Amino acid sequence: MAPSKPRSVIRQLCHWGPIVALSLIGVVVVSATYSSIQLYSLPSVKYIKKFNFFTMYLNLWLILYSYFKAFGGPGFVPIKWKPSNEADKEYLQYCDICQAYKAPRSHHCSSCGRCVLKMDHHCPWINCCVGHRNQNPFIAFLFFLPVGCIYATILNSNFLYRLFSYEFRGRAQSLLLPINSYTIMLTISGIAFSLGAALGVCILLYVQLSSVLSNRTQIEDWICEKAATRRRNNQNLKPFVYPYDLGRSKNWKQVIRCSFTPVGDGIYWPVVKGCNQYSFTIEQMAQKVEKKKRGVDCKVTRDFNGSCLKTLVSYGPLVFICTPCLEPSIPISKNDIITITRFRKRWVYGNKHIPQEEINEGKRVRGWIPRLCVLKENSTQLNKVSLPSSSLGKKDEDKATEKEAKTKTGSKDMEQPAAPRRRKDKNK
């Protein structure tokens, strides 16, 4: 399977994520512009006319500029890339699809079809990954968007307040635009979209800023959690030191730049003292070896085509609500074999067994399927699959150990024979 070719801007725009994002921005801008024009007919707000338009459209330009800068892509590992030193190949994973070794901090994205440099996550709103080259403009977009939404909310709310307080009464001839039910609904929709977008984007901005200050991507957070879990379970392992945390100041300067130009080539990174370029990849490879040992082969008992409608109709609303969002689901047929490596209460994740010819071409099929697909005939096998410890909190682990201890003591009590009762002497 050959690596995917770079997508054009038009093809990247033809996706529900960019269409929805740009449409919401358009509704907010149109509603704020309408409210501004109507407010300027009032004598009390005429003095802020030029300042308001300049501020509003400057912020709009910053939003769109940073948005389309992030559209440029995260940067990909070159096809057929390999380290300059042949001995370093043993410390890196090989990607059959990209026909190249995975550089440190890079991961293969099934949606982009390439290995992404310093991959953080695949964002549907820009229809590409957030990584080494576009994390800076993506964070700028997340900052300017809430600022513009809050400003638009103030303008629209001010217009509605003055409208319902009858300040526009007797000024119908001086208004540049009409006031009717449609324009009022437009203004209310602008307020609703602005508040919703500002709240959601601020949460995402907080996550991204935390990632920058710690110099950890979301995927690297997951790997570090599993590294800590491995050492709790096996104290003979050497302590793991995250090699890329250089301190908050240096971490910030490595990502945030006014020119939006990334630092470095995205392949070789500065590391802390005592670590090398491959300290993190060695730990990652060790985790994958344990993951393969933990996998269990199961036979599929029900069909699943991967669609949301099929999930809701065939498996119920609870399975539909708990659908994993960050990773894809895969279509699967009855009697297929899947190697399950982790599972949740209603979903399981695994690799589907495919013919050897497709494996040689670099094809792989892995993702989530409903647990009911393999529950009936394979419930005993599924119990052997250990949950990822990072998905459990410390309290949950303590509860689980207490529960196991209680069951063991309970079983011992059941095995011990009951003490014989003493009979009272009737003569006494």
As annotated, the active-site residues are: 123
Q: Decide if 98 contacts 3 (C-beta within 8 A).
A: yes
Angle between the N-to-C axes of helices 218-233 and 181-214, in degrees from 0 to 180, rounded to the nearest 10: 50
Angle at 124 between CA 220 and CA 352, to 5 degrees: 65
Q: 377: burial class by Cβ within 10 Å (0-12, 13-18, 19+)?
A: exposed
Element (H or E) spanning 184, and its range? helix 181-214
Report yes or no: 390 and 397 within 8 Å, Cβ to Cβ.
Answer: no
Range 167-176 burial, b when 16+ CB lie within 10 A, else e: ebeeeeeeee
Strand locations in 84-171, DSSP E?
Answer: 94-95, 100-101, 107-109, 114-116, 121-123, 128-130
Alpha-carbon gap, residue 160 to 127, rounded angstroms = 36
What three-state secondary structure class fits 12? helix
Calculate Rg over the CA atoms of the chain: 29
Cα separation of 154 and 190, whole Å? Answer: 11
What six digits make up the tokens of 374? 């393999």
Distance (Å, rounded) from C-alpha 282 to C-alpha 275? 11
Q: In the structure encoding, which two tokens stand for residue 153, read together?
A: 């909310």
Q: What's the token pair of residue 75?
A: 């940067």
Separation CA 282–CA 92 (nearest Å): 8
As a whole number of angstroms, the distance between CA 334 and CA 156 comes to 55
Q: What is the DSSP string of 343-390?
A: E-SSEEEEEE---HHHHHTT---EEEEEGGGTHHHHHHHHTTSPPPGG
- Angle between helix axes 135-164 and 181-214 (nearest 10 degrees) is 150
